[in-house]
Amino acid sequence: MLIDSHAHLDSSRYDDDREQMLQRAAEAGVGAVLSIGIGENPSEMHQALEICREFNGKAGMPRLYASAGIYPHNAAEADDAALAKLDSLLAEPEVIACGEIGLDYYHEGAAHPVQREGLIAQLKIAAPRKRPILIHCRPKDGVTDAWDDLFEVLDEHWASTGLGGVMHCFGGGWEQARRSLDLGFLISLAGNLTYPKAQPLRDVAARVPIYGVLVETDAPWLAPAALRGKRNEPAFVTQTAQTLAELHHLTSEEISLATTKNFARLFNLTV
């Protein structure tokens, strides 16, 4: 079985066919999906958990897990109430991760110091709840500014927890991959791994040891090359897994097994 380690199942783009979309994932061999709880803003942080509770236990569905977090663009909204909500969500057994959180210097949705403070505040909540973190990191084109700041924050505020996390939709170079692995993070590859121009990313992905990789869709965004521009969904994670398998000269069964094992190890799950 495959695990989609990152999908926004609460997106309104699934409102008309969420159940069928999840059935298609199960039919494609996707056994579990981590549903990302950021919503459009912190007031919607709980929606991923609600979706887990709605569908878990129904026949013919992947197992669903949830996360909760305040996205970098919404960092200015990380006030006491939002952080208290995050803390109570992380206490729920289905909510296995804090995220996606991080730094986005590409879109500049919030000032850099505000993003940094929002990130650190969430690390301080995730640590006592023992929840690994899901990192969104996007530098400006051609530089590593956000990565440099991110590693500075993680070295100071996260490394000592030993909890690790996931570099979601990884787009860094080998140096960033290596530093992530050293911090106990997994490198999660998304559909952009399959894009014709993504050779530099494929070169990095081929160097990441197999014990350090995950696959994800980031659905409804980032559909793999064959479906580019369409709405993405967890069933399509198979295409990214296939590309990753080829890069590592493995079968798709072997990559499924490895990524599932990695996910279970990080989140301490029996899957």
Contacting residues toward Ni ion, per CB under 5 A: 218
Alpha-carbon distances, residue 68 vs 35, 62, 71, 86, 196 (angstroms): 9, 19, 9, 6, 33
Nearest residue (CB) to Ni ion, 224 versus 248: 224
Q: Which element (helix H / strand E) includes 4?
A: strand 2-7
* Tokens 């990313």 found at: 201
Q: Give the angle subtended at the CA of 63 by the CAs of 72 and 170, to the nearest 5°.
A: 35
Nearest residue (CB) to Ni ion, 4 versus 218: 218
Number of residues written out for the chain: 271
**Number of residue whose CB is nearest Ni ion:** 218
Min dist. Cβ of residue 185 to Ni ion (A): 16
Min dist. Cβ of residue 174 to Ni ion (A): 23
Min dist. Cβ of residue 74 to Ni ion (A): 13
Nearest residue (CB) to Ni ion, 2 versus 245: 2
Q: Burial of 216 by CB count in 10 Å (0-12 exposed, 13-18 middle, 19+ buried)?
A: buried
Asked whether the bond before 100 is cis by omega within 30 degrees of 0, the reply is yes
Nearest residue (CB) to Ni ion, 9 versus 245: 9
Min dist. Cβ of residue 35 to Ni ion (A): 11
Nearest residue (CB) to Ni ion, 126 versus 245: 126
**Residues sharing a CB contact under 8 Å with residue 229, sequence separation 6 or more, in sequence order:** 223
Min dist. Cβ of residue 249 to Ni ion (A): 29
Min dist. Cβ of residue 218 to Ni ion (A): 5
Min dist. Cβ of residue 226 to Ni ion (A): 21
Strand order across the 165-167 sheet: 2-7, 30-35, 63-68, 95-104, 133-138, 165-167, 185-189, 213-215
Nearest residue (CB) to Ni ion, 86 versus 245: 86
CB 66 within 8 A of CB 94: yes
**Residues sharing a CB contact under 8 Å with residue 271, sequence separation 6 or more, in sequence order:** 1, 3, 31, 32, 63, 260, 263, 264
Nearest residue (CB) to Ni ion, 14 versus 248: 14
Helix ranges, the chain (H): 18-27, 47-55, 80-90, 112-126, 145-157, 174-182, 199-207, 237-247, 252-267
Min dist. Cβ of residue 118 to Ni ion (A): 16
* Tokens 């159940």 found at: 19
Nearest residue (CB) to Ni ion, 180 versus 245: 180
